[in-house]
Every structure is written in structure tokens, then in C-alpha cells.
A and B are shown apart, each in its own frame.
Chain A
């Protein structure tokens, strides 16, 4: 829809509102709103038909508490004479605006503080500081790991990978995010006919490496941990999983419940690779459908859901869950079910527990 034409009767822009709008965007690490404020049609500019009085621009202005330290600092920086003069000049000019670098740096820091990593990555990238900031966070994370400050180490790696960029994105590079729902499918792309096909059954060293590759998803982050002993890697993974997945403990309960449910289906699964009469066998037995295992693991049923649909959603909700499941053929269909090596150090560190039989242990 075309924008209204300027009829030349626009009210003057309220400078105080403009300052507060910029301060809000900077304090909240919101790079989208920050750029919007410089747009040719933005209500910050004189001579447009848009106005902050219009409720649709309410989201650009601070609501309520304006006394937070982040907002106060941002307000002070916006009002700084050199910065404000630059902003005024850019808003008056009829060309793409040049963003004030000092504010952008503060915005990026605030975005990191608030966990808005894609915004931070974009801001640092514009400042050509992203790769170096990533390195600074990785350095600090490795240092924290060496000094047993595990929470800081996990946070450092979380921030570092959060600042990653995907230079293969189409059409232009974009911030990279953990696509666990896709990575999990790749982790289980091959049907496990041997133990080394299933990540959950791998020996400790290889399993931990696979977990790091999957969870940290950036080569540089993983490379930083090559020399670390396995105990440190395990601690880091545990910290990282709890950072990215606040609902991990709820998953542990579901995992345990699912293992109990599997006992009901154990015999049926053992018969699964025999004659093609499994559907009949299932129909002959009371007690439900093996697909309930996937629903129990996920915590909800996906109507007519295939194993990969469950896996995708499971990995999206609980990324590390994909490391403790495996594919299982039942008759003509497949499910995902808990898989666990009983002496797995990774499982023990993440609190995964199951009865040996139930979890298809070896």
C-alpha cells in the first residue's frame, strides 16, 4: 500500500520524544527500531506525514520506567552534543542515514546483556567489530573454564556462538542461529543398524565431541575446546544446556516416564523386525500404540506425526534431547525412542536416567 503523500501541513517534531525514542532503542538493544527511527518516512523526521502522536508508533517510545541505568545511560549518550548534532543532521538530510557508531556500540552491548544475540551480531557487524568481539567472549569463556567458573564459561560460549554470522545465507549474510530442529535430523539421518550410528550409544569421547558439534554449531567455538579434558567439556555442556533450555528438567521427567512406558511395548519392539504381521500383533494387543512413546517424550501428540516431526519439535524445545534418542523401526513405521548407554558420562552429567531395558541400553 502506498504511503500518504506529504501535504505540507505536518506538525513540528517533538525533539524530546525523538531523544527518548532513540534512547529506548539503544537501551533495549533493538537494532530494528533504531534503524526505523532513521527511515525516510519515520516520525522522527520533519516533513513526513507520520507522527509519534499516532498510536501505531507507541512502541517506539518508552513505556513506564525510564529510570533504569541502561535507559539513563542511553539517554545521556543520545543527548551528547556531538551525537545529537549528527542525528539531527542525518534526519534532515535526504539520503540514507549514517548511523552513529558510538550509539550502535552501546546498543550492541545492551543487546548482548539482554540476550538479543542476532541484534548484537548485526550491530557489531556494522561496526566491523563482530569477529573480534566473538573472539573476546571466547577468550573469556576459555579463561573461565580454566578457572572453574563454569557458569561464566557457558555464558561466554553462549554469547560467542550467538554472535556468529552465516556468510552462506541467501541473498546476504545473516546472523547464524542454532537450528537444532534441522541439525537433529542430520544427527539421525542414518537409521542405526550399528551402535556407532546412534549418537546416544557412542563412546564417551566421541559422544562428547558430537554433542559439542551439535550444541555449539560453530567451528571456532568447538575448536577452542579441542585441548580441554573431557571433564571440563562435560561441565561446559551441562552449563550450556541449562542456559539454552530452561525446561531441561521437565524433559528429564518426561524421559524417565517414557522409559517406563516403553516396558509395555518392549516385547512388541523385539518382534518388530520379524514377519510383516506387526500391525496385526499391535491390533491384537491391548494397551495402545507405540507411537505414544514419541508423544510421551515430546509431551504432546502430533496428529499422524512421523518420527522426524517429533524429532524436529523435540529438538526445537529441548535441543540436547536429540542426543539421547534413537530411531526404531516398528513394522512399516518408525518411531523415535529413548536410547541410552548406561555408563554414558554425558547422560550422567545431564541427569538422564532410565531403566536399562527400557532405554534400549547396550
Chain B
């Protein structure tokens, strides 16, 4: 399943399901995926990088089931995500010369996207870590929560970065970057750089 708006964490894509899936199927898929992940973890050699990867994958699956299995939280998530995507589209459609509207929508979007990602990347993982069903299925423990803090922050900033890369420039004027010229420039810099 491809995510056409990367950055707005897509719990359906994480579970490999579509938006119409019922809560029972969500739970079953979560249990199947988590079981497979735990098998992968037990089979692999534990390097720092792999541990980070597995904890993040586990955290994402936990957050996904925690949000999607409940009708109310799922509806809230769906509507917040859809409205953010709509706001992004509205912003991208603005003419570049209309700085005032850009600034207005940017402030609104910035606050909302940060709140959305904090809620669904970090807070939902923390909430899931206290949920009996999730803890039993994933064997999640408080040490994982401590370890995940930095990983989740990095993941959240990565998502934010993915979103910002699509948005109109506002801190700088839109640069006109010629990438073939950049390669030549990099060659020149390599020769001249005082490193």
C-alpha cells in the first residue's frame, strides 16, 4: 500500500490495510504482524541499529492498533489527517505572490501538523505502552519506552521533513537549483575546500 501523502503517519499503511477495514480485522492483522516481528527479532543479531529499527517498528504497530481499533479515536484520527491534507493542498494552490495568505495558512498549518505528529507518533505510543492488550501482544516494557523516546523524536522530525519538502518555500525565496550545475559546483568545491 502506498502513501500518497508521506509524512502524515498513515496507520492503515503501517498495518497494510485499507481505510474500510473493521476493528476485528485490524486486531487480527496487528497480532499477525507483531508475531512475525517478534520472530524476526529473535532470529536476528542484535546490533544497535537493528534494535532501534525493531523498537520503532514495534512502536508504530502498537500505536496503529491503539488508534484504529477504537471507533472514536479512529474517527478523530481520520478527520484530523484528512483536514491536514486538505490544508496542505489549499496552501500549495495559493499563488506565490500572495505572501499574506501564505503566512496566515503557514502559521495555522505549522501548529496543526506539529500537534498531529506529536499526538500520533509520540503520545499514542506512550498511551499504547500502558494498554494491556498491546503490552501482552508485543511484550512491550518500560525500558522500550525509554529507548523509544529519541527514536520517536527522530521519526517525527523525519516525517515533518517529508511534509515540509513538499510545501511552498516561506523562510527563503524559491531557489532555482540546476542540479547539473550543482554537480560541477561540488567538483569545484571538492578541489577548493579547506577541510
A residues within 8 Å of B by Cβ?
86, 95-96, 98-102, 104-105, 109, 112-115, 126-129, 132-133, 136-137, 140, 144, 152, 155-156, 158-159, 162, 166-168, 170, 172-173, 219, 243
Chain B proximity of A352: nearest CB distance (Å): 23
Residue among B174, B179, B187 having the largest count of chain A Cβ atoms under 10 Å? B187
A160 to B182, CA, bound (A): 14
| Interchain CA distance A115-B195 in the complex, whole Å | 5
B interface residue numbers (CB < 8 A to A): 49, 99, 103, 150-151, 153-154, 157-158, 161, 164-165, 169-177, 179, 182-183, 185-187, 189-195
Find out whether the CB atom of B172 lies under 8 angstroms from the CB atom of A152: no
Q: Do the beta carbons of A173 and B161 come within 8 Å of each other? A: yes
A166 CA to B157 CA, complexed, in Å: 9
> A339 to B147, alpha carbons, bound, how many Å?
33
Check if B190 sits within 8 Å of A155, measured CB to CB.
yes
The residues of A that contact B153 with a CB separation of less than 8 Å are 167-168, 170
Cβ 8 A contact of B193, one of A115, A133, A166: A115
CB-CB under 8 A from B164, the residues of chain A are 128
Distance A101 CA – B178 CA, assembled complex (angstroms): 13
For A89, give the chain B residue with the smallest CB separation.
B99
The answer to whether B195 touches A168, judged by C-beta atoms less than 8 angstroms apart, is no
Which of B158, B161, B175 interacts with A104 by CB under 8 Å? B175
Also in contact, A168 and B157, with CB within 8 A (given A95-B103, A98-B171, A159-B195): yes
Asked if B189 contacts A105 (CB within 8 A), the reply is no
How far is it, in angstroms, between the C-alpha of A115 and the C-alpha of B194 when the chains are bound? 6
Given contacts A115-B195, A159-B195, A167-B161, are A129 and B190 in contact (CB under 8 A)? no
Residues of A within 8 A of B99 (CB): 98
Q: Is the CB of A99 within 8 A of B172?
A: yes
Q: Does B169 lie within 8 Å of A101, measured CB to CB? A: yes
A-B contact sample (12 more), CB < 8 A, given A113-B192, A136-B186, A170-B153:
A100-B173, A101-B172, A104-B172, A113-B189, A114-B193, A129-B182, A136-B182, A136-B183, A152-B190, A155-B193, A159-B195, A168-B154
Q: How far is the CA of A96 from the CA of B99 in the complex (A)?
A: 11
Pairs across A and B, CB under 8 Å, 11 listed: A101-B176, A109-B185, A126-B171, A126-B172, A136-B182, A140-B187, A144-B190, A156-B190, A168-B154, A170-B153, A219-B49
Residues of B within 8 A of A136 (CB): 182-183, 186
Known: A168-B150, A168-B154. Contact between A155 and B172, CB under 8 A?
A: no
Q: Are B173 and A99 closer than 8 Å at their CB atoms?
A: yes
Q: Verify A102–B175 contact, CB threshold 8 A.
A: yes
A264 to chain B, nearest CB (A): 39
User: What's the Cα separation between A137 and B193 when bound, in Å?
Assistant: 12
Q: Say whether chain B's binding surface is mostly helix, strand, loop, or mixed.
A: helix
Interface contact A98-B154, CB-CB below 8 Å: no
Across the interface, do A100 and B172 meet the contact criterion of CB distance under 8 Å? Answer: yes
Q: A4 CA to B52 CA in the complex, in Å?
A: 50
A284 to B124, CA, bound (A): 63
Separation of A144 and B187 alpha carbons in the complex (Å) = 10
Q: Do residues B190 and A98 form an inter-chain contact, with CB atoms below 8 A?
A: no
CB proximity of A102 to chain B, nearest CB, Å: 7
Chain B residue with the shortest CB-CB distance to A86:
B173
The answer for the CA separation of A127 and B179 in the assembled complex, in Å, is 13
Contact across chains for A133 and B195 when beta carbons are under 8 A apart: no
**Hey, which chain A residues are within 8 Å of B185, CB to CB?**
109
Known: A98-B170, A168-B157. A243 touches B195 (CB 8 A): yes
Is B173's CB under 8 angstroms from A98's CB? yes
User: In the complex, how many angstroms separate the beta carbon of A90 from the nearest chain B beta carbon?
Assistant: 9
Chain B residues contacting A243 (CB-CB under 8 Å) are 195
3 smallest CB-CB distances across A and B, nearest first, come from: A101-B175, A168-B154, A167-B157
For the complex, what is the distance from the CA of A172 to the CA of B110, rounded to whole Å? Answer: 14
Q: Please measure, in the bound complex, the distance between the C-alpha atom of A173 and the C-alpha atom of B171, giving whole angstroms.
A: 16
With contact pairs A136-B182, A167-B154 given, residues A112 and B175 touching in the complex (Cβ less than 8 Å): no
Q: Which residues of B lie under 8 Å from residue A133 when comparing CB positions? A: 182, 186
A129 to B182, CA, bound (A): 10
Q: Is the CB of B171 within 8 A of A112?
A: no
B159 nearest CB neighbor, chain A only = A167
Q: Which of A137, A168, A243 has the most CB of B within 10 A?
A: A168
**Which residue of A102, A109, A126 is within 8 Å of B189 (Cβ)?**
A109
B176 near A137 with CB under 8 A, answer no
Q: Which residues of B contact A155 (CB under 8 A)?
A: 190, 193, 195
Of A114, A140, A172, which one neighbours B190 at CB under 8 angstroms? A140
Give bound CA distance, A177 to B170, whole Å: 27
Query: What chain B residues lie within 8 Å of A99 (beta carbons)?
Result: 171-173
A129-B177, A156-B190 are contacts. A167–B172 as well, Cβ < 8 Å? Answer: no
The docked-state distance in angstroms from the alpha carbon of A132 to that of B175 is: 14
A96 surroundings in chain B (CB, below 8 A): 171
Once the chains bind, are A159 and B193 in contact (CB under 8 Å)? Answer: yes
How far is it, in angstroms, between the C-alpha of A156 and the C-alpha of B188 when the chains are bound? 11
